[in-house]
Amino acid sequence: MKTLLFIPFLFMCSMVIGQSSKIIGTPIKIGKLEVAEYDFPKTMKWNDAKIACAKLLGGGVWRLPTKDELNLMYQYKDEIGGFSSNNTYWSSSETDNGGRWIQSFDYGWQSSGFIFGTASVRAVRSL
């Protein structure tokens, strides 16, 4: 019976580790920030994005970038690479109207995004 329970556990662990390595890749360092090499494969709502970043493995705490970190990532987008030009990206920073800041990586603007909408996600962690 113990063997039967152990096999699904191993499968679940390999799924989480596989997801993490496909997102984190080789992190890119910008000052005191590390940026995951890849976006999550699909756009998602803000709450889902926050949870998905926190579930990433690989040492340290992965999270959504702040508004200022997201703008820094935009400034270094060519060095970081892989950003979607057709989507906006979530930040963890709250707006005055209860939304969260989003940023376009096509035009560079920042705006309020409502948490029930979807946006692209790139995880970061502090060094």
Domains of the chain (ranges plus CATH)?
Answer: 2-126 (3.10.100.10)
Tell me the pTM. 0.81
Average pLDDT for 46-72:
93
27 by Cβ neighbours in 10 Å (0-12 / 13-18 / 19+) ranks as buried
pLDDT in tens, 94-114: 998 889 999 999 989 999 988
